[in-house]
Structure 1
Amino acid sequence: MTTIEKVETFLVPPRWLFVRVQTSDGLVGWGEPVVEGRAETVRTAVEQLAEGLVGSDATRIEDTWQVMTKGTFYRGGPVLSSAVAGIDQALWDLAGKRLGVPVHTLLGGHVRDRIRVYAWVGGDDPAEVAEQVSARIESGLTAVKMNASGRMSRLATVRELDGVVERVARAREVLGDDRDIALDMHGRFTAANARRLLPALEPMRPFFVEEPVTPENSHLLRGVVESTSIPIATGERLYNRQDFLPVLQAGVAVVQPDLSHAGGISEVRRIASLAETFDVALAPHCPLGPISLAASLQVGFASPNHLIQEQSIGIHYNTGADVLDYVVDRSVFDFADGWIHRLTGPGLGIEVDEDAVREADRSPHGWRSPVWRHPDGSFAEW
């Protein structure tokens, strides 16, 4: 029996947490368990889970997932789900490496040869948006996503709403009709604001509009969906199949589980299958590091309803480090033509630069989400 021998975690810039799982036969698997802004908390959760992992059979991925998610009376939530996600990624990485095949082969084999990717651009100033979109086009990308707004009033002013429309219009002008623009509302809008704004955006034909309301207000999504012809996406702050069922029933067009939050490869694969029964596309959330991106791609290559993949290579908030800084062969993530071609290496398909990871962990980050406030001093959604 191949057993888990050691579990280590590494806090690495700009805001990530990696986990390294070593087995009794000397193999090493990597995962990325993190809640942005709560990385140290997730690290503690991984360490607690590791108490029950060391000495267990490394090949029993599903049984391990069941025990990690259900082995205590209190379950769920972003911290535990993210800790589980990273360990699950590492176990799948190990399984692929042991058999000498990529994870997507273990999931039933690839259904596509390449995956379309998109990148984030700004969203605060029309000129800035146009400039950043142009830069992404020059890098070879054919799709981008931008913030709809910064801080948004509970009932938006005409200027706030028109400003969103103007910025999206500028992006569409640069992109033309053959490229796509997605819009992230980031949960900053009330349902009322979303219903007011979405019809005005329809002439720009957004690819999708993401998280028009906060996840705790998912019961309001049906009204938002029915107010517009624009495809509605959500899911980066949902953590299991049960969370996704109500939003699928509400009529969303795209689900966006995060491979580092929603239980890892095991659970996201099941979420993808659930979404398929609603004729809904999969577009995993991934503004994170190379391990999370590789895990997302592995699921994407094996999922018939996969649409597009988010990635954060070169994004402005990767201060102090970038996705490519932690992989030995950077070419696996090349997207010069707007696509990442199928990863063929064993496991997750990447080789983590362990020396770089260990060196980065010597100066662990303490990244925190910003806190925004309305003009009256009350809390505002970031």
Structure 2
Amino acid sequence: MNLTVADVRLTPILVADPPLLNTQGVHQPYTPRLIVEVVTADGVTGVGETYGDTKYLELVRPFAERLVGRQVSDLNGLFTVADEIAVDASRVSGQVDVGGLRGVQTADKLRLSVVSGFEVACLDALGKTLGLPVHTLLGGKVRDAVEYSAYLFYKWAEHPQGVAAEKDDWGAALDPAGVVAQARIFTERYGFTSFKLKGGVFPPDQEIAAIRALAEAFPGHPLRLDPNGAWSVETSLRVAEELGDVLEYLEDPALGTPAMAEVARATHVPLATNMCVTTFAEIKEAFTRDAVQVVLSDHHYWGGLRNTQQLAALCRTFGVGVSMHSNTHLGISLAAMTHVAATVPDLHHACDSHYPWQSEDVLTERLTFEGGRVAVSDAPGLGVELDRDRLAFLHRRWLEDDGRLRDRDDEAAMRVADPEWVTPSVPRW
């Protein structure tokens, strides 16, 4: 067998996204993703997926050029390739990342986000070549299915008038009744038994009422609330006190490790994060200050599946729980999440996933949730296949865009409906 990388194909796409609200604004009608294909000299193709914004594309193209001629099995070498690519620091924002609400963005985070897409593609190609599933390449699965949580959002019925967008059948969710109705759809369609609400949209009392309504409608089911750092320490503690009897955990109520540590000291409610711990360098302060009790990994910006395993091992060492964060993603990413999650021993919290919100995909067959779980594939590689007609269609949409949608910007999307909108400073409440 010849494991040499003979070609790398990069296909930026735009996929439909519903009008989901968060503290920074609203999702655009289409969001950019990038599909990575790594082709070996034997003609085996591995696929990966990552962010498709312009700043990522500027790095993936030179990365792809340097990958040709290397061994698809040289996963450690991917980081060497990334180091060879000079990153123009002036292109990297120091503000909160609009695309994922995941803390201050740095050149290193951008680099790891690029590596992750190629690592998954290489693992897929290697698994197909060897006839082994990705979870076997990662050391073997410890579960046959991975549990996911319903990801609830405050949502408009449709994108603003005059905006070209795909229609969806979810309807609006702007009050407790709407949130509960949305949760019922999730349970009926996918069998989810735990629920996470994206908060930071309305004043805390309204979001407290929504969680209370969920607790009444689904008694005993795990509930989570994530305001993306929109609250002060005082507000965070008040909400924790109000909802302490029903919350599984409170995710990033306040912004930054010092504020999270202050909240953690004064409440028994576990705190989770995908904002103040997003790199290995941030672990020491957060863990020594006991600022978080659950870290939500995301292989896209932690640098891939093997780095996710390393993070899980560190969390286990320090007695910190681990689960998975999600951003807008397609089936390739869900397959990758499922494979690595299947190898993590102490995964005691259902993972997040946006996948039910995405009506479009690039796979010949969508992944399915049964009882809120995704079965772990034992097929070679990731166990998924590209639908080239769909990939071409979504790429044409990207080509035909005038540039406004090629970078996700929730604030700009909100200004279509409210020209005066500016993302509120934090703490918002």
Per the normalisation by structure 1, the TM-score is 0.86
Residue 223 and residue 71 in structure 1: after superposition, are their counterparts in 2 closer, same or farther (change >3 A)? same
* 2:76 is equivalent to residue 62 of structure 1: yes
Which runs of structure 2 are paired with 1:38-187 in the superposition (5 Å)? 39-69=53-83, 76-123=107-154, 124-139=174-189, 140-150=191-201, 160-177=203-220, 179-187=221-229
Change (3 A) 1:342 1:377: closer
Partner Cα distance (1:30, 1:309) in 2? 22
Q: Which amino acid aligns with 1:47?
A: R
Matched residue SS, 2:269: coil
How far residue 302 of structure 1 moved from its aligned partner, in angstroms, is 0.6
The structural deviation recorded for 1:69 is 4.6
What are the ranges of 5 or more consecutive residues in structure 1 without an aligned counterpart?
A: 152-159
Q: Deviations over 1:241-274 (max 9, x none)?
A: 2233332333322111212221011211211111
> Hey, what's the Cα distance between the residues in 2 that align with 1:100 and 1:2?
13
- Give the residue type in structure 2 aligned to 1:44: E
Secondary structure at the counterpart of residue 363 of structure 1: helix
Question: Is the contact between residue 75 and residue 119 of structure 2 (CA under 8 Å) also seen in structure 1?
Answer: yes
Question: Which of the numbers 245, 248, 259 marks the counterpart of 2:299?
Answer: 259
Which of 352, 369, 372 aligns to 1:310? It is 352
Cα offset, 1:168, TM superposition? 0.7
Instruction: Tell me which amino acid in the other structure corresponds to 2:333.
Output: S
Pair 1:289-2:330 in alignment: yes
Q: Which residue of 1 aligns with 2:314?
A: 274
| Secondary structure in 2 matching 1:340 | strand
Partner of 1:8: 9
Q: Comparing 77-86 with 268-277, which one deviates more in the overlay?
A: 77-86
1:336 aligned to 367, 370, 379, which one? 370
Is the contact between residue 328 and residue 352 of structure 1 (CA under 8 Å) also seen in structure 2?
A: yes
How far apart, CA to CA, are the structure 1 residues paired with 2:126 and 2:254?
A: 38
AA at the equivalent of 2:62: Q
Higher mean displacement: 292-301 or 189-198: 189-198
Q: Quick check: 1:326 aligned with 2:336?
A: no
Going from structure 1 to structure 2, the CA distance change for 1:125 and 1:352 (only over 3 Å counts) comes to: same
CA shift at 1:126, angstroms? 0.9
Q: Distance in 1 between matches of 2:146 and 2:280?
A: 24
Q: Is the 8 Å Cα contact of residues 276 and 282 (structure 2) preserved in structure 1?
A: no
Check whether the contact 2:362–2:391 (CA below 8 A) recurs between aligned residues: yes
Instruction: State whether residues 88 and 264 of structure 1, in contact with CA within 8 Å, keep that contact through their aligned partners in structure 2.
Output: yes
Runs of 4+ displaced beyond 6 Å: 372-378
**Matched residues in 1 for 2:183 and 2:283: separation?**
31
Question: What do residues 183-226 of structure 1 show as CA deviations (whole Å, max 9, x unaligned)?
Answer: 111122233322232111113x2122112233xx2232211112
For 2:135 and 2:375, locate their aligned partners in 1 and report how far apart those are by CA, in whole Å.
13
Where 2:302 maps in the other structure, the secondary structure is coil
Q: For the residues of structure 1 that align with 2:288 and 2:35, how far apart are their CA atoms?
A: 34
Paired letter, 2:206 = G
Task: Tell whether the 8 Å contact from 1:183 to 1:208 is kept in structure 2 after alignment.
Answer: yes
2-structure distance, mates of 1:356, 1:378: 34
TM superposition shift of 1:2: 2.3
Deviations 1:17-53 (A, max 9, x none): 2111112111111111216xxx122112111212321
Structure 2 alignment gaps of length 5 or more: 17-30, 90-105, 155-173, 399-404
Asked if the contact 1:5–1:23 (Cα under 8 Å) also holds between the matched residues in 2, the reply is: yes
Cα displacement string for residues 117-165 of structure 1 (whole angstroms, at most 9, x for unaligned residues): 11211344111111111212222110121123316xxxxxxxx332221
- 8 Å Cα contact 1:116/1:309 also seen in 2: yes
Q: Following the alignment from structure 1 to structure 2, what is the Cα–Cα distance between the partners of residues 234 and 285?
A: 9
Q: CA deviation at 1:169?
A: 0.1
Alpha-carbon distance, 1:237 to partner: 7.0
CA contact (8 A) 1:21 1:30 kept: yes
CA contact (8 A) 2:251 2:273 kept: yes
Contact 2:127 2:380 in 1 (8 A): yes
1:27 aligns with 2:5: no
Equivalenced residue count is: 359
2:248 aligns to what SS in structure 1? Answer: coil
Distance, in Å, in 1 between the alignment partners of 2:336 and 2:219 is 32
2-side partners of 1:92 and 1:376: how far apart? 43
Tell me how far 1:100 sits from its aligned partner.
Answer: 0.9
Q: Identify if the C-alpha distance between structure 1 residues 244 and 345 changes in structure 2 by more than 3 Å, giving closer, same or farther.
A: farther
**Percent identity among equivalent residues?**
26
1:80 is displaced (CA, Å) by: 1.7
In structure 1, how many angstroms separate the alpha carbons of the residues matched to 2:139 and 2:331?
A: 23
Aligned to 2:251: 210
